[in-house]
Chain A
Amino acid sequence: MTLLRNILIRLLTTLVTLIGVAVIVFVVIRVVPGNPIAMMLPPGATEADIARLQTQYGFDKSIFEQFVIWLGGVMQGDFGTSISLRQPVAGLVLGRLPATLELSIFALSIAIVIGGTMALLGTRYRDTKTEGAVDISAGMALSIPDFLWGLVLILLFGVLWPVFHISGRISPALNIDFNTNFYFFEALVRLRFDVLADLIGHMFMPALALAIPLAAIIAQLLKQSLKETMHLDYVTLARTKGYGENHVITREALPNAILPTLTLVGVQFTFLIGGTVIIERLFSYEGLGNMAIDAVINRDLPLIQGIVILFALLFTIVNLVVDMLYVVLNPRLRHA
C-alpha cells in the first residue's frame, strides 16, 4: 500500500516539475524584445501581414491565455507549429529524438565499460601503481567537461590521425532507405553491417566525449564501494572457502557494491543527455540538441518549447527508471 502511495506521490511531483519547466520556458521566451514574426517575414512585409501571422500563432493574446491554449493542445498531442520549419513541432521533435537517444545510450555503454573496467582493475591491483594510475586518470577525466574532450578528440582522431568521422551521423553513400529514425537499431535488425560500421564510425567520437567524465565518476565510486565491501566478513568467508581473488571481486563483492553507483549513474545520465546539446553541435550530429540551438537562434518559440519539454520528460523518465531498478536490484527492498 505504501509502495503504491509512494509511486503516486512520485508521479505527482514529476508532473509538477514538468509544468514548472513549461511555465518557466513559456515566460522566459516571451519576454524576448525582438518580434519572432517579424524575423520570419521578408523585409517588405506590411503591418497587416505581421498582424495576420501574429493572430495565426496566437502571439496577440496574453501570456496566460497563450499558455492555456498551448497546454490544451499538448493534452491532445499538439505542440504547435514550428515557425522556421513550418511543420508540426511534435513530428519534428520526435523525428530527431531517436538520433539523440542512440547517441546517449551508446555513450552510456562506453562509460559503463570503461568506468567498470577501471574500477575492477583498481580493486584487483589495489595499493599498486595500477590503482594510482586509475585514480590519476579518473581525476583528470573528471576535471574536464565533455565539450573540451570533444575538441581534443577532434584534434587527435579527426586531424592528427584521422580514423573516425568528426561530423554528421551517416555517410551519404550509405544512407539506405530507413523506415525509422533509429538508424543504429534498424541497421542491426536488417543485418546491414557496413551501415552499422559507418554509424559507429560517426557516433564514436561524440559518444566518447560524452562518456569520459561519466566513466571517471563510475570508476571512482565503484572502486570506493568495492574496496569497502572487500573488508566485509562474507568476502573473507568466500576467501577462506578458497575462491580466487577474481571470483571474490566479481561474484561476491560486485553485486553488493553496485547499488550506490547505480543511483549516481542515473543522475549523471541526465547530465550526459544534457551534454548532447553542445556535443551534437560540435560534431554536426543531426539530433535534438543541434535542432534546439538552431531553434533558439531563429527564435522559433513553439519548437524551443517542444524540445525543452521533451528533454525534461526524458530526464524525469530516466530518474523513474533508476528508482525502479534500485528496488529490483536491492535485495533488502525486494521482499518488502
Chain B
Amino acid sequence: MRDARGDIRRPIGLRLWLSGGWLTLLALGALFTPWIAPKDPLMQDLFLGRMPPFWVQGAEPGYLLGTDSLGRDVLSRILYGTRLALIVALVAGTLTCVIGATLGLIAGYYRGWPDRIISRFVDIWMAFPPVLFAILLIAVLGPGLISIIIAIVVIDWTRFARVIRAEAMTQGAMDYVASAQVAGRTRFGTMLTEILPNVLPTIVALLTLEMGIAVIVEAILSFVNLSISTDSPTWGGMIAEGRTSVHQAWWVLVFPLITLFLTVLSFSQLGEGLKDRFDPVLR
C-alpha cells in the first residue's frame, strides 16, 4: 500500500515552488525596475498609440508588449506598477497582520470585557461592504500610497482578529496552558510564550493571503481612479484604461491582468501551501 501522506505532500511542494518562483521574479523585477524597464513609463508618443505586442503584425520594434492609447510602453508600465503593488502588499499586509492578530489574541485569551468590545467592533465591521468602505476611506483620506495602506489596515484587521481569536480560545482551554499558569507564569507571559507560538503558523498563512488581498484592493482602488496620482503607473489603472479600449487594443488589458492574476494566485497558493505544511496532522 502506498503512503497516503506522500500523495498529499507532492502537489504542495510544486505549488510552493511555482508561486514562490513567480513572487521572487516579481520582487527582482521591482528592485531592478529602472535598469530593466525598456522605456520611460510616462513617455507619451501619440504617433505610436495602440501598437500591438511584438508577435502581432504591425508591431513597433522596442515595444515588446505594445503601447497604450497614449503611446506609453505597456511592459515598462507593468514593471513600475509592480513596485507599488509589492510595497502595498508588504507594508499593508504586515501592519494589518500585527494589529489584527494582537487584537484577536487579546480577545481570545483574556475573554471578558476586552473580548466583548473587540467582538462588537468586528460585528459592526462585518456589516460594511468592504469595497465600499475602502473607497469611502480613500475619498476621505485623499488619494496616495499612505491612504491606501491605512484603508487596507482599517478594513481588513477583522480578518485576522476573527480567526486568531477563535484559535487563541481553543489553545487557551488546553492543559498545557493551565500547567504554565500553575507553574507561576503571568497571564501576559503565557500569552506570549505559550499561545502565540501555537497560533503563529495560522498567522503566517493568513499574512500571505492578506498580501494577495492588499494587491487586489490596490488594483480595485486604482480601477475606480482613487489610488495614487494618475501619473504613477498602477496595474489597476492600466486595467481600467484597458477595459475601456478592450475592443481596439486587447493587450492594454491582458498583460497587466495576467500579471495581477498570477500574483494574487501565487500569494494565495503560498498561503495555502504554508498552512498545509505547518499543519501537524499532515506533517
- Whether A274 pairs with B130 at a CB distance below 8 angstroms is yes
Q: Which of B127, B136, B216, B239 contacts A29 (CB 8 A)?
A: B136
Q: Which of B123, B136, B213 has the largest count of A CB atoms less than 10 A from its CB? A: B136
Q: Which of A25, A139, A273, A282 contacts B243 (CB 8 A)?
A: A282
CB within 8 Å of B: which of A42-57? none
- Could you list some 5 contacts between A and B, CB below 8 A? A17-B127, A20-B127, A151-B239, A270-B126, A293-B132
> Which chain A residue shows the least CB distance to B135?
A296
Q: Which of B132, B213, B246 contacts A154 (CB 8 A)?
A: B246
- Whether B246 pairs with A28 at a CB distance below 8 angstroms is no
Knowing that A18-B127, A144-B268 touch, tell me 10 more A-B residue pairs with CB under 8 angstroms. Answer: A17-B124, A21-B128, A143-B268, A143-B272, A159-B246, A270-B126, A277-B132, A292-B135, A299-B139, A307-B132
CB within 8 Å of A: which of B139-158? 139-140, 142
The answer to the question of A275 belonging to the interface, with a C-beta cut-off of 8 Å to chain B, is: yes
CB B92 to nearest CB in A, in angstroms, measures 16
- Whether B269 pairs with A143 at a CB distance below 8 angstroms is yes
What is the interface residue range for chain A against chain B? Answer: 35 or more
Q: Which of B131, B140, B254, B272 has the largest count of A CB atoms less than 10 A from its CB? A: B131
Residues of A with C-beta under 8 A to B124: 17, 20-21, 24
Binding site for B on A (CB under 8 A): 13, 16-18, 20-21, 24-25, 28-29, 31-33, 139-140, 142-145, 147-148, 151-152, 154-155, 158-159, 270, 273-278, 281-282, 289, 292-293, 296-297, 299, 304, 307-308, 311-312, 315-316
Tell me the complex Cα distance, A274–B158, Å.
16
- Whether A152 pairs with B261 at a CB distance below 8 angstroms is yes
Contact with A along B248-272 (1 / 0, CB 8 A): 0010011001001100110011001
Given the known A-B contacts A154-B246, A155-B250, A282-B243, are A32 and B140 also in contact in the complex, defined by CB atoms under 8 Å?
Answer: yes
> Which chain A residue shows the least CB distance to B142?
A33
Tell me the complex Cα distance, A293–B123, Å.
23
> Which chain B residue shows the least CB distance to A18?
B127
Given the known A-B contacts A151-B257, A155-B250, A316-B127, are A297 and B139 also in contact in the complex, defined by CB atoms under 8 Å?
Answer: yes
> Which chain B residue shows the least CB distance to A315?
B127
- Whether A312 pairs with B128 at a CB distance below 8 angstroms is yes
> Which chain B residue shows the least CB distance to A150?
B243
CB A277 to nearest CB in B, in angstroms, measures 4
Given the known A-B contacts A296-B136, A297-B139, are A151 and B128 also in contact in the complex, defined by CB atoms under 8 Å?
Answer: no
Given the known A-B contacts A18-B127, A143-B265, A151-B253, are A158 and B246 also in contact in the complex, defined by CB atoms under 8 Å?
Answer: yes
CB A25 to nearest CB in B, in angstroms, measures 7
- Whether B216 pairs with A147 at a CB distance below 8 angstroms is yes
The answer to the question of B36 belonging to the interface, with a C-beta cut-off of 8 Å to chain A, is: no
The answer to the question of B137 belonging to the interface, with a C-beta cut-off of 8 Å to chain A, is: yes
Residues of A with C-beta under 8 A to B200: none
- Whether A20 pairs with B120 at a CB distance below 8 angstroms is yes
Binding site for A on B (CB under 8 A): 120-121, 123-124, 126-132, 135-137, 139-140, 142, 212-213, 216, 219-220, 223-224, 226, 239, 243, 246-247, 250, 253-254, 257, 260-261, 264-265, 268-269, 272
- Whether B264 pairs with A17 at a CB distance below 8 angstroms is no
CB A147 to nearest CB in B, in angstroms, measures 6
Given the known A-B contacts A145-B264, A296-B139, are A311 and B132 also in contact in the complex, defined by CB atoms under 8 Å?
Answer: yes
- Whether B128 pairs with A275 at a CB distance below 8 angstroms is no
CB A228 to nearest CB in B, in angstroms, measures 15
CB A157 to nearest CB in B, in angstroms, measures 12
CB B107 to nearest CB in A, in angstroms, measures 17
Residues of B with C-beta under 8 A to A155: 246, 250, 253-254, 257
CB B85 to nearest CB in A, in angstroms, measures 13
Q: Which of A148, A159, A311 contacts B129 (CB 8 A)?
A: A311
Given the known A-B contacts A17-B124, A151-B253, A281-B224, are A293 and B135 also in contact in the complex, defined by CB atoms under 8 Å?
Answer: yes
- Whether B123 pairs with A28 at a CB distance below 8 angstroms is no
> Which chain B residue shows the least CB distance to A151?
B257
Residues of B with C-beta under 8 A to A307: 132
> Which chain A residue shows the least CB distance to B224?
A293
- Whether B265 pairs with A147 at a CB distance below 8 angstroms is no
Residues of B with C-beta under 8 A to A143: 212, 264-265, 268-269, 272
> Which chain B residue shows the least CB distance to A147?
B220
Residues of B with C-beta under 8 A to A158: 246
Tell me the complex Cα distance, A159–B253, Å.
11
- Whether B132 pairs with A292 at a CB distance below 8 angstroms is yes
Tell me the complex Cα distance, A270–B129, Å.
8
Tell me the complex Cα distance, A31–B137, Å.
11
